[in-house]
Amino acid sequence: MTETITTRLSGRTAIVTGAGRGIGRSIAQRLAADGAEVLVVGRTLEALTATVDVIEAAGGKAWAMAGDISATADVAGIVAEALDRWGHIDILVNNAAVFDEPPFLDVDAETFRRTFAINVTGTFLMSQAVARGMVACRSGAIVHISSVDALGADGPVTAYTATKAAVVSMARTMAMELSPHGVRINCVAPGFVNTDMVHKTSTPEVLRHMLHDFTRVPLRRLVEPEEIAATVSFLVSDEASAITGSNLVVDGGLTANLFVMETLPESMIPLGE
């Protein structure tokens, strides 16, 4: 896709978690391209450095910090470093998440706890630490990356699906409490996105189908990471100044279609004829 780059975030400061690859890297690139200075956060410094290199090569500003967002001490250190460098934080994008579990009858308690620790507790810790300063400044925007999995079941991923529903619910409560203080909270719910994970878990024929003739999706294709990034950039900008507490779905129409008619053995008899 062709990106429309703007200066809508000129002078803003932003933290993006899980920014070493995939959707997180695309979000960091887009926020930087739109004028923000971005702190990219994740568990692997090498991957984060690669993100910074891409951003700087395009003329943007970025720096990296490795850390575990499920650890209170790491979160405190990340936010303290950002405040020491910038004095304030304008934008937080909670993208970091894990997605690795067996079917329901096989998933163990430790995997379930670990998934919640990163996807939910980590999102909470980062949001709370950043929001305190935003409330003091009476300005700021936080976006959680949720998923269409928060709206319906999608394969054997019980823990992941539960965490994404929790993140959406948490965003609504945060919006009720923080919006009166000038801090907006929203979610972006991606559908099936063209990332490395999809490539790794798809056969060549399945990948070809999803990229070019994805029958289940009205747009007939995967969503591109850049399309998620563009949505995030809009939501954290002043153009979305009246939007808070929302879960904006970016799925190519996937959840708009119940997919009932397409699965019948033959077509229904049309009415009105």
Say if residue 273's pLDDT is above 80.
no
Percent of the chain with pLDDT over 90: 89
Cα→Cα distances 21→50, 133, 169, Å: 9, 28, 26
- Top pLDDT among 165 and 270 is at 165
Q: Domain of 165?
A: 13-195+223-251
Assigned domain for 54 exists: yes
Q: Residue by residue, what is the 3-state secondary structure of 2-18?
A: CCCCCCCCCCCEEEEEC
Cα→Cα distances 85→39, 63, 88, 112, 210, Å: 10, 11, 8, 36, 43
Cα→Cα distances 236→40, 47, 183, 227, 255, Å: 16, 25, 10, 15, 24
pTM over 0.75: yes
Query: How many beta carbons lie within 10 A of that of residue 109, not counting itself?
Result: 7
pLDDT band at 73 (very low <50, low <70, confident <90, very high): very high
Catalytic residue among 160, 192, 214, 234: 160
Assigned domain for 76 exists: yes
The CATH number of the domain holding residue 164 is 3.40.50.720
Question: Does residue 236 contact residue 31 with C-beta atoms inside 8 Å?
Answer: yes
Assigned domain for 4 exists: no
Among this protein's residues, is 239 annotated catalytic? no
List, for residues 10-62, the tens digit of each pLDDT value.
999 999 999 999 999 999 999 999 999 999 999 999 999 999 999 999 999 99
Say if residue 5's pLDDT is above 90.
no
Residue 132's Cβ-side half-sphere holds a number of Cα atoms within 13 Å equal to 9
pLDDT band at 4 (very low <50, low <70, confident <90, very high): low
Say if residue 75's pLDDT is above 60.
yes
Assigned domain for 236 exists: yes
Q: Residue by residue, what is the 3-state secondary structure of the chain?
A: CCCCCCCCCCCCEEEEECCCCHHHHHHHHHHHHCCCEEEEEECCHHHHHHHHHHHHHCCCEEEEEECCCCCHHHHHHHHHHHHHHHCCCCEEEECCCCCCCCCCCCCCHHHHHHHHHHHHHHHHHHHHHHHHHHHHHCCEEEEEECCHHHCCCCCCCHHHHHHHHHHHHHHHHHHHHHHHHCEEEEEEEECCECCHHHHHCCCHHHHHHHHHCCCCCCCCCCECHHHHHHHHHHHCCHHHCCCCCCEEEECCCHHHCCCCHHHCCCCCCCCCC
Total structural domains within the chain: 1
Mean pLDDT along residues 1-15:
81
Mean pLDDT along residues 249-264:
94
Cα→Cα distances 13→63, 98, 119, 181, 246, Å: 11, 26, 23, 19, 22
**What per-residue confidence (pLDDT) applies to 3?**
52
Assigned domain for 96 exists: yes
Assigned domain for 123 exists: yes
Assigned domain for 97 exists: yes
Please state, in angstroms and rounded to a whole number, the distance separating the CA atoms of residues 103 and 150: 17
Assigned domain for 213 exists: no
Q: Take residue 93 and report the two structure tokens written for it.
A: 């994008």
